[in-house]
Amino acid sequence: MKTSLILMTLALGFTSSAFPGVGGSHGGSTLSASWSEIKRSPRLEIASPQIHFVSQEKITVAVDVMEVCVSGDTLRTINARSIYTGDDKKDSYEILERSRIYMAKVPSKKRNAEEISIKAEIPLRYEIDVMAKLKDRSYKLFSKDYIIPECSREGEALE
């Protein structure tokens, strides 16, 4: 009980903008801070999910959802990614793309059937946890909505 009370007190202190550069010049809640303000804070971590892309070299690359933009039904990395191509070649750099809609294999509910394919879609909206770094541990402060932004013509996300 005592430990829970201490952790609760710490969490309340952190959400009231104890982090430099977070919450605006007038203080305020860390929850109301923009994602760019949260990213700049050295004491906060963003626990965002990743989306898997396949490079031209057929290498699977996991990319943070905050480094992706959407154009129609296509997801694309905002910046070119370094792709390790093997020890005898140099790394390549490429903008990765994939369709939001794909066929996923799932186990069949029927006896003795292996897998079935179903149509799946990568979501554009996420509820992402923001963590406080304290010594050697991280503690969840809150969750915040994130929507993958539209791509500009050059592939960069529009703010």
Q: pLDDT, tens digit, for every residue of 67-117?
A: 999 999 999 999 998 887 666 666 778 899 999 999 888 888 877 778 888
Query: Are the C-beta atoms of residues 53 and 43 closer than 8 Å to each other?
Result: no
Give the pLDDT confidence score for residue 155 in this predicted structure: 45
Give the pLDDT confidence score for residue 86 in this predicted structure: 67
Q: Which residue has the higher pLDDT, 151 or 3?
A: 151
CA angle 42, 159, 143 (to 5 degrees): 50
Please report, for residues 34, 48, 52, 101, 125, the alpha-carbon distance to residue 65 in angstroms, rounded to integers and kept in the order given: 16, 7, 10, 16, 10
Give the pLDDT confidence score for residue 26 in this predicted structure: 37
The 10 Å Cβ neighbour count of residue 141 is: 21
15-25 residue pLDDT tens: 444 444 444 43
Q: How far does the chain reach from its first CA to its final CA, in angstroms?
A: 44
Q: Which residue has the higher pLDDT, 122 or 26?
A: 122
Q: Where are the chain's structural domains?
A: 37-106
Residue keyed to tokens 């179903």: 118
pTM of the entire structure? Answer: 0.71
